[in-house]
């Protein structure tokens, strides 16, 4: 550990109010994800420390700035973000802050930090869930949190989807939904659908072990770029249609296709995630559902849900997924969803009452055949949409020879993620 790393720890304890448990979890997080990397470099790679703050710590370590002067130049919001990414533990600590500083050192006399129990404490970064070491929080959904974790034997990253603890009948329903998702994903062995590795019925926190996709979601890419180039959207749509065609062949209706559930690898591949709302059709009693889908909630996201699912008792089917994919492609091509509103109900009302806009209204230079296809996918009448995803793949838009996808290089990837983190910090500081 170098002088700059020692200064980071000193600041976290003395100025930012970090407790001993939080420092310990930061250490375990660091060690689990960065073999030879400095703490300062690790925090920047995670998007938690800006380049100016790194330079300030290095200036202090080099003797060019006094500690008091340097610490006053640091942005406190950055360290608030670090704390939010760490486990939620008590802010106060009875430990001596000076003793806490030896956690990263070789001092054999340093007091051993107490390890928090895995259960019934909530899953936390640096802790274990089952046999998996949680290394990073990736996001939160309606039913729980998603973590990046390390497989203890294979030493490969995996995604852990954890069902939050709850009580009553709703908790039982959410557990059954997670089991349904595990079974559906186990049957869907397709390169454009996130694979499932395992399901563990943990006593407090049941979880699903999924393939980890080393790239952003389409929602994050849209947030960074505003809109996506048509050739990349065509390639993305083709892969999604192939994955959905495989799902529908098994009778699986996704019901929640949206940019946040479309994951992109650095090599340009597309994977559809989150089948937590998916149902089986045509197979009575499958996985606790019915052929008509009457026993499950209608689900979906307001910006992308098909209007017939809101205005009638029509069960979700392939054409309702077709609408959601069309709304997702519209958002990618134009940088905005097809219908907007002040709240979800206003969005749904606009989607039901207004005609679907043509993407060329917002981006005039779009290829006409692509804009026409997306508009048909958004048709109010399900019968006016492409009949199936197999038929969708036969559209002229997908029949041409596409150039190979340009991988998201490390330089572009770093810029996109840094821009995303800066925007998140600005939003939290307002």
Cβ neighbours of 35 (radius 10 Å): 6
Nearest to 252 by CA among 275, 235, 273: 275
Assess contact for 370 and 395: CB atoms under 8 A.
no
CA–CA separation, 292 and 288 (whole Å): 12
Cα Rg of the chain, angstroms: 24
CA angle 400, 406, 408 (to 5 degrees): 145
> Dmax over Cα atoms in the chain, in whole Å?
74
Listing DSSP states for 368-429 in one string gives HHHHHHHHHHT-SSGGGS-S-HHHHTTSHHHHSPPPPPPP--HHHHHHHHHHHHHHHHHHHH
CA angle 401, 243, 292 (to 5 degrees): 135
- DSSP strand pairing (157-163 vs 144-150): antiparallel
| Token pair belonging to 74 | 């640091």
From 243, 276, 30, select the one nearest 139 (Cα to Cα): 276
Let me know how long the chain is: 430
Identify the active-site residue in 96, 107, 170, 256. 256
Spatial separation of the C-alpha atoms in residues 180 and 175, rounded to whole Å: 9
Listed residue (51, 105, 111, 38) closest to 78, CA to CA: 51
- Residue 256 a catalytic site member: yes
Closest Cα to residue 49, out of 16, 92, 17? Answer: 16
Output DSSP code: residue 211: E
What are the residue numbers of the active site?
Answer: 256
């Amino acid at each position: 550990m170098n002088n700059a790393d020692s200064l980071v720890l000193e600041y976290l304890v003395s100025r930012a109010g970090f407790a001993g448990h939080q420092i310990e979890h930061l250490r375990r997080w660091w060690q689990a994800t960065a073999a030879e990397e400095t703490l300062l470099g690790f925090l920047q790679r995670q998007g938690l420390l800006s380049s100016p703050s790194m330079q300030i710590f290095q200036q202090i370590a080099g003797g060019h700035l006094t500690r008091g002067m340097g610490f006053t130049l640091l942005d406190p919001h950055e360290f608030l973000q670090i704390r939010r990414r760490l486990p939620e533990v008590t802010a106060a600590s009875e430990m001596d802050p000076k003793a806490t500083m030896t956690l990263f050192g070789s001092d054999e006399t340093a007091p051993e930090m107490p390890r928090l129990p895995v259960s019934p404490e909530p899953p936390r970064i640096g802790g274990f869930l089952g046999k998996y070491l949680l290394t990073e929080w990736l996001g939160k959904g309606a039913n729980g949190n998603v973590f990046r974790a390390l497989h203890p034997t294979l030493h490969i990253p995996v995604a852990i989807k954890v069902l939050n603890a709850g009580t009553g009948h709703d908790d039982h329903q959410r557990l059954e939904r997670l089991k349904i998702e595990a079974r559906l994903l186990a049957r869907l062995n397709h390169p454009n659908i996130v694979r499932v590795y395992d399901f563990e019925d943990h006593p407090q926190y049941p979880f699903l072990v999924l393939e980890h996709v080393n790239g952003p979601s389409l929602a994050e890419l849209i947030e960074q770029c505003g809109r996506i180039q048509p050739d990349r959207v065509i390639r993305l749509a083709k892969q999604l249609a192939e994955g959905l065609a495989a799902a529908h062949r098994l009778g699986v209706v996704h019901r929640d296709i949206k940019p946040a559930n479309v994951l992109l690898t650095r090599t340009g591949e597309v994977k559809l995630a989150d089948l937590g709302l998916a149902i089986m059709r045509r197979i009575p009693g499958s996985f606790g559902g019915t052929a008509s889908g009457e026993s499950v909630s209608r689900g979906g996201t307001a910006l992308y849900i098909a209007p017939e699912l809101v205005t009638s008792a029509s069960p979700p089917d392939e054409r309702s997924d077709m609408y959601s994919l069309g709304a997702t492609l519209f958002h990618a091509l134009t940088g905005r969803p097809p219908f907007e509103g002040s709240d979800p109900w206003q969005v749904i009302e606009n989607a039901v009452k207004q005609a679907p806009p043509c993407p060329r209204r917002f981006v005039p230079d779009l290829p006409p055949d692509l804009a026409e296809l997306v508009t048909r996918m958004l048709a109010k009448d399900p019968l006016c949409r492409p009949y199936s995803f197999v038929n969708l793949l036969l559209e002229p838009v997908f029949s041409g020879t596409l150039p190979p996808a340009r991988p998201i290089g490390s330089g572009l990837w770093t810029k996109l993620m840094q821009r995303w983190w800066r925007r998140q910090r600005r939003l939290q500081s307002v």
